[in-house]
Copies of this chain bind each other. A is one copy, B any other.
Amino acid sequence: MSKQAEFAVILKMNPMFADLGADELQRLSNLCHTQHLGSGELLFQKGDPGDALFGVRRGQVRIETGASDGSRLTLNFMGPGDLFGEVAVLDGQNRTADATAGEASELFVLRRDDFLGFLEREPKVAIKIIALLCQRIRWQSERMEESMLQPLPVRLARRLCALAADFGSEVHISQEQLGVFVGAARESVNRQLQAWRKEAILDLQRGRILLRNMTKLTAIARNE
């Protein structure tokens, strides 16, 4: 499979591009480049102009932010097939976090200029993108309002389910970071996790959470 075809598949997996026709997708993929990163190498940092969209071909990229005390908090891991920077490439705003390679990686790169040129030549695609952004706005405003009003156990269960979808039943994250994710104090996170451990829903290790009973966890996430 050609590089371009591989990129097209990644794009197609992303909701933002899922609606595009095969021909449109192919013309778009033709604009991509690739870039190699050594382990630990910086891809971009907070404040850089958002001049490209990236897809991970192999390796791993960590999206992290430097906390005020100098420590770093990981916001997300991007593995093969993941796409990031979709919004930046559309509006060109500065990056709001840093991205570094967790291991030697190869990325697909779609430059903003190329993408905008494409949209100008294909206004029908631009309109599809507009519709998708609108959906995202609606979805966001529904979810955010709802989600932040949910009690902590629900928010926590949802986050764990989301992480499980990406990493399987062994989630590698500290309770501190989990707290940042769900907007709660570390201690509260710990107490809830302990309660679930006693119910055999999960097991805890230093820096790791082992999900034992996803059925119960998703039930809690649904807040029934």
- Which of B130, B141, B149 lies in contact with A130, CB distance below 8 A? B130
Q: Is B123 touching A93 in the complex (CB atoms < 8 A)? A: no
Contact of A148 among B121, B138, B148 (CB under 8 A): B148
| Residue in B93, B116, B126, B183 whose CB lies within 8 Å of A138 | B93
Query: Within the assembled complex, what's the spacing in Å between the Cα atoms of A65 and B92?
Result: 37
Q: Are B141 and A140 in contact (CB under 8 A)?
A: yes
Smallest distance from the beta carbon of A116 to chain B beta carbons, Å? 6
Choose one: B87, B96, B130, B149; the contact of A126 (CB below 8 Å).
B130
Is A178 among interface residues, defined by CB-CB distance under 8 A?
no
The answer to whether B126 touches A127 (Cβ under 8 A) is yes
- Cβ-neighbour of A131 out of B91, B138, B149 (below 8 A): B91
> Does A37 touch B at the CB level, under 8 Å?
no
* A119 contacts chain B at the CB level, 8 A cutoff: yes
Could you mark each residue 123-143 of chain A with 1 if its beta carbon is under 8 Å from any beta carbon of chain B, else 0? 110110111011111101100
Q: Which residues of A contact B (CB under 8 A)?
A: 87, 90-93, 96, 116, 119-124, 126-127, 129-131, 133-138, 140-141, 144-145, 148-149, 183
With both chains docked as a complex, state the minimum distance between the C-beta of A123 and any C-beta of chain B, in angstroms: 4
Contacts of A131 in B (CB 8 A): 90-92
Do residues A140 and B138 form an inter-chain contact, with CB atoms below 8 A? Answer: no
Q: Could you jot down 26 A-B contacts, CB within 8 Å?
A: A90-B131, A93-B135, A96-B138, A116-B127, A119-B123, A119-B126, A120-B123, A120-B127, A121-B123, A126-B126, A126-B130, A129-B130, A130-B133, A133-B133, A133-B137, A137-B137, A137-B140, A140-B140, A140-B141, A140-B144, A144-B144, A144-B145, A144-B148, A145-B183, A148-B148, A148-B149
